[in-house]
Structures are given as C-alpha cells and as structure tokens.
Structure 1
C-alpha cells in the first residue's frame, strides 16, 4: 500500500522531514491559474466548473513537489448553496446580501448538497488524477466564520455585525449555527465519499471573541461537526485551523477532537512544546509575507519552524494563505528548503 506522508502525519506519524502543502496553493501568484480563471465567467463559476477547478487544483503540483492537492473551492459555497446571494467583486472580495433574524427561515439546507454536486465532482476528478502518494484535502468553512460573512455581508476586521447579532438575537443565531453545522457535516461526509483523504475546518475568524463566545461559537460547533462526520465516516482525519485563537488553541484542540491543529503565523514557536500534547500533530506556520520577501530571513525562519516542531508530527504550511504577489521562485525555494534542508 502506498504511503501518503501528509495523511500519515495527520494521523500522528512523525516524518523524517515534514510534508508540505500551502494554503491557497492554487491561486493568483501562478500565471497558469490566472489564465484558467480568465476562461470562467467569474470566481464562483470557476468553483462550480469541475473541469476548470480540477485544472487549477493540479497546477501547483505540476510546478512543485507538494505532498497534497486541496480541492479548489471557497468557504462561501455553503451560504450560496443555502440560497443566500453571494458574489465576488474584483478587488473587493465576497459580497453577500446580509441575512437577519427574519430571513434565516428562508435558507434551504435541504437543497445544499445538490447545489454543491459540482464541487464533489471536482474531488472525484482529482482523486482519479492524483499520484497515489499525494494526499487529497477537502475543506469547509467553520460555522462561526461562515456566519460572520452571512450576517455582515462581507469580510470584516472585527466581525462586529455578527458579534452583535449573536448577543442581540441568540435564538435566531442558534438556528443559523444549527443549519451551518448540519450542512457542514453533510458536505464533509460527501467529500470523503468523493475521495478526500482528509478535510480541514477553516475557522478563519476565531479571533475577537471572549472566552465564553469562543466556547459557544467556535469550540462547540466545530466539536459537533467532528463528531457528526465521524458518526458517518469513522476515524475521519480532520485538521482544525482556528486562525487567531491564541490562548484558546489548546482548549480548541482538546475539546473538538481534531487530529491536527493548524497554527497561524502569530503563534509562538514554543507554544506547542509548552501547551500541547506531544503526540498532537501541528501544521504551520510561516508568515506569508516572509515568503514574499524571500532570502536569508525566509530560510532562517523555515529552519526555526522545522526545528521547533521536530519532536512531533508536523506538516509545514504557511500561517495563512499565500498572497498574489508571491514570487514563484520563492515558493520553489521554500519547498526545496523543507524537503532537503
């Protein structure tokens, strides 16, 4: 049986050198991605056109010796599948028609999986195309993060609209979270059925919450998703990435039951040694702007990250997504450094 180093690491097996993938590895820093995207009618059309989504998912693996492909999609396909208006404006990012306490009832979770069928076709195509030693990663946005966009209508630095909604309308907010939890479970179970080896929960807005809100809006929904997926897919491998969780990281890992914990670039390198179980795999955590700058500072930081996590299972990654201005030669240097020192 072919060993998949990245999947093995998620499952707790330490490797001689960490396997590597890069968040947003299929993206605008690659000219071939920009060319393929130009063939689509827009970003969501690219996500929902399996032929194109498969192509852009494979492009970074043709250039670089990455250990995984991640399906090309977006966390906001879930609100789109639930019937909320979602669009992507050039230079502005996602724009949604904000929901309120009266419009939650109009969401259509019963139609979501049918709407997401093209994404699942992308996974099936990737499974067939990937070399056997490569891990296939699926994902979804975690409920709190997705809810911040659904309520606020766009990204926000402080998620104020969603934070206020949650305390002013707790019953309606609970209904929304229940819908997002169950839809995420169904979606991830379908991703495993379509060929995913591992899935990642992107909790991109885990910051700006007090400890009670973090328990209610981050830990509890993510725990329910992990339990719900594993009720259908026993021992399903799951990575949790609660960006900005800071002092809540250890509680998140313990309470949710994720196999591996993604660390953002602000997480101190000694955090894992001081606060996390020695057998808990971690993923991360190079600052994407260090990758943009390149040079000796990047090499030194790569070495420091590998050394800091050398006593536990470790997947090398950035501490957030790669940015469009990243030089391709710096990505090649990163992967060479991780793989060969």
Structure 2
C-alpha cells in the first residue's frame, strides 16, 4: 500500500496531512553528527552508501516522518559532468574549473560518480516500511549552473546572471548538459526505489521575469517531460525558491505534479493562485521552527487551514536550520498531526 505522502502527491485530499522536512537528514540530529564525525568529510559520507542510507532513515526512526529524503547533494551532478568537487570546512562547496572562465567542452563526464547514490536509494528502500515514501531529488538546471559557473555559492549569483546576458549560448550549453545528466540521474533513482522526486531550484528567485522563463521554467519542463516519459506515475515536486508571483506560471508550465512553496509566500494567496487541486508543499519559516516561539503552533495551523481545500504536504519553506532544537521539531509534528480541518 502506498503511503500517505505518495497518495497526497497523487491528489488525495484526506483528513490527515503528510509531513516531512527539507534537510531533515542532517546536522540538527545528534545521531547524524556522531556518524559524520566517524566518517569524515561530507562528500565521503555521501559516497558511503550504507552510511548515507543510515543518515536518510535517522529522522524516520526518530520522528516517524511520512517521507524519507535521500541524503546526498545537488552538486553531485556537476561532479558527474567532470568538475572537481570539494567541501571545505568553513567555506562550503568548491567546483573547479569554474565555467565562468573555462569551457564546458574541457570537462570529461564521469557518470559512475553517481553510482553510490543509486546504491543508497536501494538500501534505504529496503529499510523503509511501505507507508514511508522515499523521495529522490536533484538540483534544477539554473541553480546547478550557478555553482558550475562561479565555482562556488554566492549571495546574488552575479557570475551566472551576468554570463547569461553576456553569452547566453554558453549558459544554454551548460544548462542542456545539466538537463541530460539530471534526467538520467532521476530515472536511475526511481529505478532504484525512489517513489517521488523533487527538483530544487534554490536560486530561482534571482532572475528577472524573462530570464526566469528561459532558465527556470523551460529547463524544468524539459526534465519533467523526459522523466515522465521514462517513469510514468512517479510524481515530480518542483520547488522554485523565491519565485513569488511567478509561482503560478511555474506550476502551470513546467508540468510538475506538485509545487513547493517557500516561506516568503502567503499561503492564502498561493491556495487561490495555484492551479486548482494541484498538491502543494510547504511552507513554515525554518527560522520560526528554530526560534520555537508560541507562534509556531499558530502559524502551523494557519498554513494547514489555508491549504485545507487541496492536497497538501506540510513542510518548511526551505531546509531545517542546523541549530534547530529537537523539542521544536516534536512540537511542530504534534501540531501537524493534531490538526483537524475546520
């Protein structure tokens, strides 16, 4: 029997709301920190399939989430495309050579670098009960391209945005390479046991409207179309963080089955503006969960009430903060599980 999360992504608007949290497998959990200390660097942990599987199931064991999100990173795709990838303490990810001053054609693809991820998916599926939905994921092309071009993360994606205006053909070639790799990557995750997948476009909000059409909507639509042709029946959740007023167009034009909403979006507006009956995921502010003020329960109920008329997956508006206390997560889950439609 499919779990509540998968049923909801397929259109069920039942009395109980499934819940999982972006980045739920990670640094706020003491059991993760203990395993990370034992295994060493982040990329080594991602490539250690038994350890990555253990990290993936830790929040399921502790909290009974309705979905398990694969423990990995969006930058494994550029790594597979041939860039060198390092995670440096205190500095974040570094990709080399940065494509702002190196040609894509200079890279030699190494697709076998993704093999450990597929092994992780298979191991996790073996450990989960049928009621828990296993979610795979990938970064969306624009977000991944910003890292590939700059060689690192940035606050405003200046290098990629400028290059997209200056040399759109070069950026299109990078995006096309990401699309092709991502489709294969998601298909292989589904074949290994992922029951739904999410596309993270963390930097979608940095683009002007016309650029959003080209670099967010069109590439995600290409991925969804190709993925659906090979994996019919596997839902795709699109999460264009920062899309704001462009969210309805994204939901209509990309073909995603469900749309994730970040914490800056008014859920009442989203419920009204998004396509009728489309499943929605979101959108509590991760900093409210971190703070744990009395507003936590009130705002959780307000989000649940706003989306009561459509299928809704409760989640945060982005990833859980690493300093979030465990009792705050327990309070949130109690509020979601105790909610009743008015």
TM range (shorter): over 0.9
Aligned ranges 1:209-288 → 2 under 5 Å:
209-288=207-286
Question: Which residue of the partner structure matches residue 45 of structure 1?
Answer: 44
Cα deviation code 1:185-211 (max 9, x no counterpart) = 000010110000000000000012111
* Offset at residue 15 of structure 1 (A): 2.0
CA distance in 1, matches of 2:211, 2:9: 28
After TM superposition, give the deviation of residue 94 of structure 1 in Å: 1.1
* Unpaired runs of at least 5, structure 1: none
Distance 1:283 1:185 in 2: 22
Matches within 5 A, 1:1-341: 2-97=1-96, 98-100=98-100, 102-109=102-109, 111-112=110-111, 114-341=112-339
- String of CA shifts for 1:106-162, please: whole Å, max 9, x gaps: 2234x32x2100000000001110011000000000010000011112111211100
CA distance in 1: counterparts of 2:33 and 2:102, whole angstroms? 40
1:264-321 superposed Cα distances (whole Å, 9 cap, x missing partner): 0000121223211220110000000100111321010001000000010000000000
Contact between 1:64 and 1:332, CA under 8 Å: does it hold in 2? yes
Q: Cα deviation per residue 1:14-47 (whole Å; 9 max; x = unaligned)? A: 1212100000001111111001111223101111
Distance 2:254 2:233 in 1: 13
Query: 3-state DSSP class of the match of 2:135?
Result: strand
Alpha-carbon distance between aligned partners in 2 of 1:301 and 1:288, rounded to the nearest angstrom: 12
Q: Is the 8 A contact 1:201 1:241 kept in 2?
A: yes
Task: Name the SS of the counterpart of 1:150 in structure 2.
Answer: helix
SS at 1:13 equivalent: coil
Q: Contact 2:100 / 2:159 at 8 angstroms: preserved in 1?
A: no
Structure 1 consecutive aligned stretches of length 4 or more whose deviation exceeds 4 Å = none
Aligned-residue offset at 1:231: 1.5
Shift of 1:101: 5.9
Give the secondary structure class of the aligned counterpart of 1:234: coil
TM, length-normalised to structure 1: 0.97
Comparing 86-95 and 198-207, the one that deviates more: 86-95
Contact 1:65 1:335 (8 Å CA) reproduced: no
Q: TM-score, normalised by structure 2?
A: 0.97
**Count, aligned residues:** 338
Larger mean Cα displacement after TM superposition, 86-95 or 70-79: 86-95
Measured in 1, the distance between the counterparts of 2:295 and 2:334 equals: 15
Structure 1 distance, partners of 2:102, 2:293, is 53
Secondary structure of 2:82 counterpart: coil
Q: Distance in 1 between matches of 2:108 and 2:335?
A: 47
Q: Any conservation in 1 of the 2:100–2:150 contact (CA below 8 Å)?
A: no
RMSD over aligned Cα, in angstroms? 1.1
